[in-house]
């Protein structure tokens, strides 16, 4: 009987596949996969609960490679354990339309849980996974039925810990006592610029212990130590765990291990020959022994794990049929069968009720109405719940030892948003997060990542313009709406009253493959009269709110608080015989998705006299009014003063709209 294959040889399979793929692509990062190979071998072969034949199995453990530049590590693991990632896929590393892009990307490769690359956001996503698991378990598990029961593991490097987001999310993870969250820190002391001792000398152990984490230190190349540490981490159920693994970057490369030279560049043909000799690796590139594949293959083990869970779920379904059906609905991302009907009734009731209201208050009214219909709505605010008005009637904060349905994120805009990405990715929840529109800037890259991954996340941004008043230009957004509107996949809503606010919420909830940004005012906004067709057309992103009273000569386009100005200008112009219409455009992106005939009906091409008005940067609107049209808005930062004075100061007034239209007709 042949001797069992050594763990080191199994880890070396990761090393050689990684440096071979990087070399073939002539691009990539071989150092991290080579340095973390021993850690990966222990976690993936001994502990990770997953099924390569069904990468979306609900109760799988989640694995996140936060140091995503080392993507060949996870591609090698997926290939070796039996996912649909072939040798040819590895050979196509970093090539167009391959399953193995330069950083792990959701949707390209089976087994990838989240898109990583911008350092630190992967661990934030992992915190989101862990929050979702803990909260879903509290809502659905019953005595004798642990249906939601999995761990979240993440690999991270020095760069992840240097990024400020790591403080935001790891601090919160400790406060919430996320005991099923386990991080493996690749402590190799090297980043792109060289030895990190010149710029990163934090006491990482003390830092995480201060957060409330369990911290364990190991030799990252000693499989026994890694195994024992992982067992210890799993045994600790009241604290997240950080396993600090002292490693050598590029381990196995005679001349480049331990050096920045192995971080972000191929080893080179000559060094690969030497590395193969040092590892006693006799095979040609991308060739492995059958015994290596047999030792790595996780399909049989994963099949047993999933079938055991299936049997447990069948017992759960018999004991709690309604809970089981509800859990599956939520995990599958489906909305309740009656939701659309109930939502449309609510929108119509809002229109009939009328009344002037700040759109942030209208947003809270929508949440209070929709949350009982959708228990999967999991909200939170970055320490501004009283200003964002994100708390709903039965909101209960998630705490370390208590169930809840609302997250008090604290002043952590970036961390909050990246955590919400992880919650959405986990399944079972539709997360919404909130802050002032100005402070979207702190969260900007996480907003982009959610859009890149096409996740259903709802960003609530209040205090949307100079209309917030006395706080001044530090708090008054100007360019942020343009930034959001030009983000692919993201839908940005700026409603003008309670009806549009309700519609925006409903459409955001229904947008399964798009995140949404809902932009709300601090100040009260006037209710607008609409017929049933106009109410229905809100969902088209732009529609005729006020029709011309004589032959059409000019069009005013407005959003949010400026729709009220546009309507006042409409009354003046119409009384003076000008044929003008008002187009409310709460979501320009959705309007541009409509068919050409609808867009032409709203904005006839032959009407060149167009004026757009919005208390935001003017440049965005020239795509709708043309270079010959006029835009009334902001070209500078704001000032500290009451809102009414500021609108006059910056020329965003009814008179300005009237004058602009008259100058064009």
For 559-587, what is the mean pLDDT?
A: 98
Q: How far apart are CA 275 and CA 297, in angstroms?
A: 25
pLDDT for res 1: 53
549 found inside a domain = yes
* 273 lies in the same domain as 346: no
Residue 178 has pLDDT above 60, yes or no: yes
Q: How far apart are CA 377 and CA 176, in angstroms?
A: 19
190 labelled binding-site residue: yes
Task: Say how many domains are in the chain.
Answer: 3
For 238-265, what is the mean pLDDT?
A: 98
- Quick one: pLDDT band at residue 204, thresholds 50, 70, 90? very high
* Burial of 124 per CB tally in 10 Å (0-12, 13-18, 19+): buried
Six token digits for residue 50: 């997953």
Q: How far apart are CA 217 and CA 174, in angstroms?
A: 18
pLDDT for res 270: 98
Count of CB atoms situated within 10 Å of the CB of 26: 9
Six token digits for residue 371: 């949350």
471 labelled binding-site residue: yes
Residues 100-121: pLDDT tens digits? 999 999 999 999 999 999 999 9
- Quick one: pLDDT band at residue 297, thresholds 50, 70, 90? very high
Q: At what angle do helices 121-140 and 164-176 cross, to 10 degrees?
A: 20
User: What are the C-alpha distances in Å from 309 to residues 149, 317, 323?
Assistant: 10, 12, 16
Q: Out of 376, 413, 507, 548, which one is annotated catalytic?
A: 413
pLDDT for res 361: 98
Please list, in sequence order, all residues whose beta carbon lies within 8 angstroms of the beta carbon of residue 188, skipping any fewer than 6 positions away: 31, 32, 35, 157, 158, 246, 247, 248, 249, 258
Please list, in sequence order, all residues whose beta carbon lies within 8 angstroms of the beta carbon of residue 158, skipping any fewer than 6 positions away: 186, 187, 188, 189, 190, 191, 196, 200
527 labelled binding-site residue: no
Q: How far apart are CA 8 and CA 16, in angstroms?
A: 12
646 labelled binding-site residue: no
Residue 401 has pLDDT above 90, yes or no: no
> Whole-model pTM?
0.98
* 509 lies in the same domain as 550: no
414 found inside a domain = yes
Q: How far apart are CA 354 and CA 368, in angstroms?
A: 18
Q: How far apart are CA 657 and CA 571, in angstroms?
A: 11
* 543 lies in the same domain as 517: no
* 516 lies in the same domain as 545: no
Identify the domain containing residue 612 by its residue range: 539-663
| Block residue for tokens 């006042």 | 568
Residue ending a domain, choose from 475, 493, 525: 525
369 found inside a domain = yes
pLDDT for res 403: 87
Residue 56 has pLDDT above 60, yes or no: yes
* 174 lies in the same domain as 131: yes
- Quick one: pLDDT band at residue 2, thresholds 50, 70, 90? low
Q: How far apart are CA 14 and CA 76, in angstroms?
A: 6
Six token digits for residue 9: 């040889």
pLDDT for res 422: 98
> Catalytic annotation on 413?
yes
The closest alpha carbon to 14, from 96, 110, 62, 81, belongs to 81
- Quick one: pLDDT band at residue 402, thresholds 50, 70, 90? confident
- Quick one: pLDDT band at residue 241, thresholds 50, 70, 90? very high
Q: At what angle do helices 339-353 and 359-370 cross, to 10 degrees?
A: 140
572 found inside a domain = yes
159 labelled binding-site residue: yes
Residues 322-350: pLDDT tens digits? 999 999 999 999 999 999 999 999 999 99
Residues 594-607: pLDDT tens digits? 999 999 999 999 99
Q: What is the CA radius of gyration of the chain?
A: 28
Q: Residue 281: which CATH number?
A: 3.40.50.970
């Amino acid at each position: 009987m042949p001797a069992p294959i050594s763990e080191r040889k199994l880890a070396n399979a990761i090393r050689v596949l990684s440096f071979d793929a990087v070399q073939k692509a002539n691009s990539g990062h071989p150092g991290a996969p080579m340095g973390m190979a021993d850690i990966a071998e222990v976690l993936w072969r001994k502990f990770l609960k997953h099924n390569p034949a069904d990468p979306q199995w609900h109760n799988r453990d989640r694995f996140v490679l936060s140091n995503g530049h080392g993507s060949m590590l996870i591609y090698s693991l997926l290939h070796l354990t039996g996912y649909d990632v072939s040798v040819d896929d590895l050979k196509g590393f970093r090539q167009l339309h391959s399953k193995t892009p330069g950083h792990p990307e959701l949707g390209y490769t089976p087994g990838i849980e989240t898109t990583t690359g911008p350092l630190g956001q992967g661990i934030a996503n992992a915190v989101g996974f862990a929050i979702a698991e803990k909260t879903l378990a509290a809502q659905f598990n019953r005595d004798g039925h642990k249906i939601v029961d999995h761990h979240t593991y993440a690999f991270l490097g020095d760069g992840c810990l240097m990024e400020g987001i790591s403080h935001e999310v790891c601090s919160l993870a400790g406060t919430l006592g996320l005991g099923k969250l386990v991080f493996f820190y690749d402590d190799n002391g090297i980043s792109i610029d060289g030895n990190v001792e010149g710029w990163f000398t934090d006491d990482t152990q003390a830092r995480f212990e201060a957060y409330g984490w369990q911290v364990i230190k190991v030799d990252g190349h000693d499989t026994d130590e890694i195994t024992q540490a992982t067992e210890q981490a799993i045994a600790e159920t009241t604290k997240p765990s950080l396993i600090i693994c002292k490693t050598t970057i590029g381990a196995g490369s005679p001349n480049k291990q331990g050096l920045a030279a192995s971080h972000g560049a191929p080893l080179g043909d000559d060094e690969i020959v030497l590395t193969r000799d040092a590892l006693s690796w006799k095979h040609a590139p991308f060739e492995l022994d059958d015994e290596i594949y047999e030792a790595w293959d996780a399909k049989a083990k994963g099949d047993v794990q999933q079938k055991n869970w299936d049997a447990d779920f069948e017992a759960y379904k018999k004991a709690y049929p309604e809970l089981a059906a509800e859990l599956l609905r939520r995990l599958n991302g489906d909305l309740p069968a009656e939701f659309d009907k109930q939502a449309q009734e609510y929108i119509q009731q809002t229109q009939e009720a009328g009344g002037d209201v700040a759109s942030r208050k209208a947003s809270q009214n929508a949440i209070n109405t929709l949350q009982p219909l959708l228990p999967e709505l999991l909200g939170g605010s970055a320490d501004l719940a009283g200003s964002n008005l994100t708390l709903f009637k039965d909101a209960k904060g998630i705490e370390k030892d208590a169930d809840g349905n609302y997250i008090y994120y604290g002043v952590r805009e970036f961390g909050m948003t990246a955590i919400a990405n992880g919650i959405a990715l986990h399944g079972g929840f539709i997360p919404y997060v909130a802050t002032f529109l100005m402070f979207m800037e702190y969260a900007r890259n996480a907003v982009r990542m959610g859009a890149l991954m096409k996740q259903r996340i709802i960003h609530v941004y209040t205090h949307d313009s100079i209309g917030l008043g006395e706080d001044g230009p530090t708090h008054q957004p100007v360019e942020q709406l343009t930034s959001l509107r030009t983000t692919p996949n993201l839908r940005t809503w700026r409603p003008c009253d309670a009806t549009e606010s309700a519609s925006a919420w409903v459409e955001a909830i229904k947008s399964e493959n798009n995140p949404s940004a809902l932009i709300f005012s601090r100040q009260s906004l006037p209710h607008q009269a609409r017929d049933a067709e106009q109410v229905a057309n809100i969902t088209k992103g732009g529609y005729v709110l006020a029709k011309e009273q004589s032959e059409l000569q000019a069009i005013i386009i407005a959003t949010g608080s400026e729709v009220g100005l546009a309507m006042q200008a409409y009354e003046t112009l119409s009384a003076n015989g000008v044929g003008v219409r008002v187009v409310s455009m709460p979501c320009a992106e959705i309007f541009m998705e409509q068919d050409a005939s609808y867009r032409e009906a709203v904005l006839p091409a032959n009407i060149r006299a167009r004026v757009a008005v919005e208390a935001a940067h003017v440049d965005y609107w020239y795509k709708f009014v043309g270079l010959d049209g006029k835009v009334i808005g902001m070209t500078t930062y704001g000032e500290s003063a009451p809102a009414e004075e500021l609108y006059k100061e910056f020329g965003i007034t009814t008179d300005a709209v009237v004058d602009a239209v008259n100058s064009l007709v």
